[in-house]
Structure 1
Amino acid sequence: MSAHRSVSSPQPRPAAASTEIRFDARIVLGEDQSLDVPVRFGYRADDPFAVALEFLGPASEAGTWLFARDLLWEGLEKPTGLGDVRIWPPCPCHGRPHLRIMLQGSDGSILLDLPSRKLRRWLRQECFALVPSGTEGDVIDWSAELHGLAD
């Protein structure tokens, strides 16, 4: 006896689960100079490989940067990244307790210091709770993605 599967009309997809965190980052201007700027990190379950870093307030002209969630996670433990986004872990032995991110664009670069404990907690308790590491591919609608490439 063969199995029968009914095909129903496509249902609208529910709104994606998401999470965000806001805090002040420091733009490093020099050895002893920095400027506090508000930023927001966002994560959406329907874009499971990426986090978004958005500059708020007066620094909003720096825009929104998308990069790999795993890059951010790995950067909490060891230097990582090539190209536009590079990340260095906190280095208490040199008096730097914060995560450092360098963003390089066509208009120049920005060096940021971020509170690593807050960021680590948010990644672990919020982002990886929405989409556990290693399951990112399970939440992507690959048929829709391939269809979009064919158009």
Structure 2
Amino acid sequence: MAIPAELFGAFEHSALVKLNFSYYVSDPLALRMGIILEGALVSEWVFARDLVFSGMATQVGWGAISVWPTINNLIAIQISGTEGRVLLRLSADILETFMGETCDRVKYGEEFNNLDIGITVARQCGLVT
């Protein structure tokens, strides 16, 4: 699902980007988020689905990614890497819709019932996408 967002930190001013969120039943613990700027994929991140669920209610952060609710019905996602840090702001309603769609595929809390460890290891090793 492509979600419009505002990016801060990489430019003097904010930039409008699209966040392409995807979720796979074969990797039920993870979400993928591609950052698309001017039609080109500039970065892709994989992080815990649980991080987004928790971050929609309160500020949480594990490792390089933090998520929290802000004013005006927005969700903030902060990504820190070796080259710096960016902040993304997106609609809480649209993100909630996407997260609901992930629950239609795998109920929250039942991810381990759908975990294919062989595919997960192969994906981590870059053998499959």
Name the TM tier (shorter chain): 0.7 to 0.9
- The count of corresponding residues between Structure 1 and Structure 2 is 119
Aligned partners of 2:73 and 2:51: how far apart in 1?
A: 19
Q: Secondary structure at the match of 1:56?
A: strand
Residue 22 of structure 1 is matched in structure 2 by 2
Consecutive unaligned residues of structure 2, counting only runs of 5 or more, are: 123-129
Would you tell me which structure has more strand in proportion to its own residues? Answer: 2
Q: CA RMSD in A?
A: 2.3
Cα pair 1:37 1:56 within 8 Å, conserved = yes
Letter aligned with residue 44 of structure 2: T
Question: Which of the residues 140, 143, 147 maps onto 2:115?
Answer: 140
TM-score where L is the length of structure 1:
0.71
Identity among equivalent positions (%) equals 27
Change (3 A) 1:119 1:146: closer
Alpha-carbon deviation of 1:141?
A: 2.8
User: What is the correspondence of 1:26-37 to structure 2 with a 5 Å cutoff?
Assistant: 26-29=6-9, 33-37=13-17
TM-score where L is the length of structure 2:
0.82
The runs of at least 4 aligned residues of structure 1 exceeding 2 Å deviation read 57-61, 144-148
Consecutive unaligned residues of structure 1, counting only runs of 5 or more, are: 1-20
Structure number with greater Rg is: 1
